[in-house]
């Protein structure tokens, strides 16, 4: 009986401690993040001036600032809390390369981007943590959209050929299902969140018209990013 009472007391204490930690984390948080985002878009076109089909691929890099709003602890199942969140993505700078051209020639030396990201997040709640920093690993999943404007300036020697029409500038859009892994580092007054993001599958569009031809999607876009967010509870 003593052993049974001890086990029951220990289980109840563990449950109460976990419930307290979960309650300490719950709430609505706002934050800012800075990240490096990379997209690869893949295209196909055929020009009447050339006997060969073309399969261009663009590597687009952006520095991205995001404004975040998140509901932590929307619900909980066993040792996992579930969060819901959204981000406004703003990329003020970045460049693009034509990785189908010799030497991965630069096709745009600048540009900007804007987009939205939404996610659901499964967060593991460790049973006990000591110290001033609590760690909560997570896995996220949700839709991601980014509009990418490329200025077409500063192009390399191959990209500058008139038939490719990079110098005029162009736009691309990327819509995909994205996932991420990371960890919330919870301090007393704020939360620091490093996060690695990657695309699962998606779709891309473009206003680029090389040699007077429309391009079509030749496989889904590639995406990966790394960001760090600082957030506080309302």
d(CA 195, CA 210): 36
Task: Write the CATH number of the domain with boundaries 27-233.
Answer: 2.40.160.20
Question: Is the Cβ–Cβ distance between 24 and 185 less than 8 Å?
Answer: no
Global pTM exceeds 0.95: no
Which range in 62-76, 124-138, 149-163 is most confidently predicted, on average pLDDT?
62-76
pLDDT value for 52: 73
Nearest C-alpha neighbor of 36 from the set 184, 223, 169: 223
pLDDT by residue (tens digit) across 47-68?
766 667 889 999 999 999 999 9
Q: Which pLDDT value is given to residue 148? A: 98
User: Which pLDDT belongs to residue 130?
Assistant: 72
64 Cα distance to chain centroid: 10
Residue 21's φ and ψ, nearest 5 degrees, are -65, -40
What are residue 23's phi and psi, to 5 degrees? -65, -35
Q: What is the DSSP letter of 99?
A: T
Q: What is the pLDDT of residue 128?
A: 76
pLDDT average, residue stretch 197-204? 97
> pLDDT tens digits, residue range 207-223?
999 988 889 999 999 99
Mean pLDDT for 160-172 is: 89
- What is the spatial distance between Cα 14 and Cα 8, in angstroms, rounded to a whole number? 10
Mean pLDDT of 193-211: 95
- Position 39 scores a pLDDT of 98
Q: Which residue has the higher pLDDT, 23 or 76?
A: 76
Contact in structure between 44 and 55 (CB atoms under 8 Å): yes
| pLDDT greater than 80 at residue 226 | yes
The pLDDT of 123-133, averaged and rounded, is 84
Residue spans per domain, the chain: 27-233
Provide the mean pLDDT of the chain: 89
């Amino acid at each position: 009986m003593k052993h049974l009472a001890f086990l029951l007391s220990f289980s109840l204490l563990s449950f109460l401690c976990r419930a307290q930690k979960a309650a300490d984390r719950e709430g609505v948080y706002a934050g800012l993040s800075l990240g490096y985002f990379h997209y690869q878009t893949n295209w196909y076109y055929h020009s009447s001036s050339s006997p060969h089909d073309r399969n261009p691929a663009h590597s687009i890099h952006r520095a991205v600032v995001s404004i975040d709003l998140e509901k932590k602890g929307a619900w909980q199942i066993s040792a996992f809390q579930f969060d819901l969140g959204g981000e406004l993505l703003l990329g003020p700078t970045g460049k693009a390369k034509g990785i189908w051209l010799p030497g991965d020639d630069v096709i745009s030396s600048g540009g900007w981007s804007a987009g939205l990201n939404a996610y659901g997040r499964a967060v593991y709640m460790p049973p006990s943590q000591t110290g001033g920093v609590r760690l909560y690993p997570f896995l996220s999943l949700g839709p991601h959209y980014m509009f990418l404007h490329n200025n077409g300036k500063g192009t390399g020697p191959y990209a500058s050929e008139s038939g490719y029409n990079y110098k005029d500038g162009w736009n691309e859009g990327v819509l995909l299902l994205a996932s991420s892994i990371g960890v919330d580092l919870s301090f007393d007054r704020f939360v620091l969140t490093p996060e690695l993001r990657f695309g699962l599958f998606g779709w891309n569009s473009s206003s680029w018209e090389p040699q007077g031809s429309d391009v079509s999607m030749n496989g889904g876009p590639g995406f990966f990013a790394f960001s760090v967010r600082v957030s506080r509870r309302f």
